[in-house]
């Protein structure tokens, strides 16, 4: 027996598809429904390692948490990791299979993956009562429709009803809803069940006449109007869209538990990956996290974090071009705290030998840590567990670089020299005891009277956030109508809206 399903599409990228999908998943699981998330193809530099050692998008890992199930490669069979403007690494069923240009991928390779994608979806639907699928970008990208495997391509092949999400905070949501439907073929339009308004501010009664007119124009209803809420974003797909001047996730900094705040500056390196590592720092009361791209912005920072990157050598060049490299070396010599994670750890070393990622051969690192890095063709994908600063630490590794540590104090899989720490482990700061111990060391080195709160649980905060998403769906969407869609598919007899897809 095949479980029910729904595809959550969007009028644009960043319309709220990931958040709505997670919210629907959490609402369903609270109703006793066995549910799983699915995204056929994800383009993201923020990824996660499953227990079986497969790499998938972090958004799907968080959606799996919303479903209270373990994430697997089936939930995100195709992951594209950009390596620049023109090419991406293709990760298939959790393992890298090569680099392709955008033209090469859309020119044939993408369509070849449709069978694999449909098999993964069918396996999930055979196991779960419902599968909530997330689209990508917009289903009305008419230049890509022929090879599409993530929006209407999969909806048509799997017979999924489609809910279109629009971000009203951007403006133009009615035109976006209407235009999305009107640019689809008759067969695709038959699956567009209706709309969901996201990020509405104000009096809903003022919006209702527009929703009625939209129904008259399209024959399709609106399934809910979700109010704007701060700090509800789950792990985003793309770090390149983050504001350099904004706090993480628009989060409000709670009052410090001690007398001082702690200021964290994150270097916004090119192709920044897994910047979600710093979310656990931002969750601590009194910790202020910001992204920076100028050396003077490091001056008042108590801790500087160099995050992961899909281009270690490129990030190293960027740091040198901007004067950040000199500031970091000077900072290390002064004994002021620096934490390098994954690519950020690699570039703090003495030398990088890269014939895989940048193909630049031997490149001199910043020389802050006694480490030499050689890039291997095989990617390391693991979920290690260990101990540091007297506390248990869990993490995950995603990297081609193999580090040869020749000195310093041991620190997870990397090392520490003075107040500079380096490790390949992502997610280590989510271990509450370790994070507190680390922040105490940082505060002591910075001369701050900062004290970590003794009861901050990052896992509990995540659960609370997912419950808030479930509450949004339960309180502001027509959940009975949503369940009918999931169980029975799109309504019959939906009208065709001209002009339809171009020939």
Catalytic choice (25, 67, 120, 342): 342
316 in Cβ contact with 351 (< 8 Å): no
Catalytic choice (400, 424, 426, 476): 426
Residue 492 has φ and ψ, to the nearest 5°, of: -80, 150
Of 87, 85, 148, 88, nearest in space to 118 by CA: 148
262 in Cβ contact with 304 (< 8 Å): no
Spatial distance between the Cα atoms of 310 and 375, rounded to a whole number of angstroms: 12
Spatial distance between the Cα atoms of 152 and 127, rounded to a whole number of angstroms: 23
Spatial distance between the Cα atoms of 67 and 65, rounded to a whole number of angstroms: 5
Known catalytic membership, residue 426: yes
Cis peptide before 499 (omega within 30 of 0): yes
Spatial distance between the Cα atoms of 343 and 503, rounded to a whole number of angstroms: 46
247 in Cβ contact with 289 (< 8 Å): yes
What DSSP state is assigned to residue 255? P
Token representation of residue 333: 């010599």
What DSSP state is assigned to residue 396? B
Tell me the three state secondary structure of residue 44.
coil
Residue bearing tokens 């994670």: 341
What sign has the CA pseudo-torsion 473, 475, 478, 484? positive
Pairing type for strands 262-267 and 303-306 reads: parallel
What sign has the CA pseudo-torsion 36, 37, 41, 42? negative
Spatial distance between the Cα atoms of 501 and 184, rounded to a whole number of angstroms: 5
Token representation of residue 4: 């029910």
Spatial distance between the Cα atoms of 430 and 284, rounded to a whole number of angstroms: 11
Known catalytic membership, residue 342: yes
Other Cβ atoms less than 10 A from the Cβ of 187: the count is 12
Helix axes 324-333, 312-321, angle to 10 degrees: 90
Of 356, 368, 370, 367, nearest in space to 401 by CA: 356
What DSSP state is assigned to residue 426? B
Other Cβ atoms less than 10 A from the Cβ of 481: the count is 15
Q: What positions carry a catalytic annotation?
A: 342, 426
């Amino acid at each position: 027996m095949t479980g029910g399903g729904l595809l959550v599409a969007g009028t644009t990228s960043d319309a709220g598809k990931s958040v709505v999908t997670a919210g629907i998943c959490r609402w369903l699981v609270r109703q006793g429904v066995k549910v799983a998330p699915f995204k056929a193809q994800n383009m993201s530099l923020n990824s996660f390692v499953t227990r079986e050692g497969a790499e998938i998008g972090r958004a799907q890992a968080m959606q799996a948490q919303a479903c209270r199930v373990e994430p697997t490669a089936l939930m995100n069979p195709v992951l594209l990791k950009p390596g620049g403007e023109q090419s991406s690494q293709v990760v298939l069923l959790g393992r890298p299979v090569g680099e392709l240009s955008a033209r090469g991928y859309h020119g044939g390779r993408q369509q070849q993956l449709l069978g694999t994608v449909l098999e993964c979806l069918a396996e999930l639907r055979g196991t779960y009562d419902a599968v909530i699928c997330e689209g990508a970008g917009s289903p009305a990208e008419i230049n890509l429709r022929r090879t599409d495997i993530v929006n209407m391509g999969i909806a048509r092949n799997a017979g999924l009803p489609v809910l279109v999400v629009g971000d009203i905070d951007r403006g133009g949501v009615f035109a976006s809803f209407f235009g999305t439907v009107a640019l689809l073929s008759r067969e695709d339009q038959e699956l567009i069940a209706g709309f969901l308004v996201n990020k509405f501010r104000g009096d809903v009664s003022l919006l209702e006449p527009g929703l009625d007119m939209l129904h008259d124009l399209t024959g399709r209803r609106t399934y809910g109007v979700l109010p704007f809420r701060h700090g509800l974003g789950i792990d985003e797909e793309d770090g390149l869209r983050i504001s350099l001047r904004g706090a993480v996730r628009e989060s409000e900094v709670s009052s410090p538990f001690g007398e001082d705040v702690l200021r964290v500056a994150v270097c916004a390196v090119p192709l920044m990956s897994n910047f979600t590592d710093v979310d656990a720092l931002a969750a601590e009361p009194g910790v202020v996290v910001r992204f920076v791209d100028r050396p003077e912005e490091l001056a008042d920072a108590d801790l500087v974090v160099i995050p992961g990157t899909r281009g270690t050598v490129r990030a190293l060049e960027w740091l040198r071009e901007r004067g950040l490299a000199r500031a970091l070396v000077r900072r290390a010599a002064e004994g002021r705290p620096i934490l390098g994670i994954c690519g950020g750890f690699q570039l703090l070393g003495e030398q990088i030998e890269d014939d895989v990622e940048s193909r630049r051969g031997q490149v001199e690192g910043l020389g802050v840590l006694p480490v030499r890095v050689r890039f291997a063709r095989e990617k390391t994908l693991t979920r290690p567990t260990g101990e540091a600063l007297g506390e248990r630490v869990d993490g995950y590794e995603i990297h081609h670089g193999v580090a040869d540590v020749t000195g310093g104090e041991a620190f997870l899989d990397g090392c520490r020299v003075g107040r500079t720490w380096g490790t390949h482990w992502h997610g280590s700061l989510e271990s509450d005891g370790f994070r507190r111990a680390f922040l105490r060391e940082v505060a002591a080195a910075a001369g701050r009277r900062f004290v970590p709160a003794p009861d901050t649980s990052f896992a509990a905060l995540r659960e609370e956030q997912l419950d808030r998403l479930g509450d949004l769906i339960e309180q502001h969407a027509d959940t009975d109508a949503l369940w009918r869609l999931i169980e029975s598919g799109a309504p019959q007899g939906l009208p065709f809206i001209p002009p339809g897809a171009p020939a």
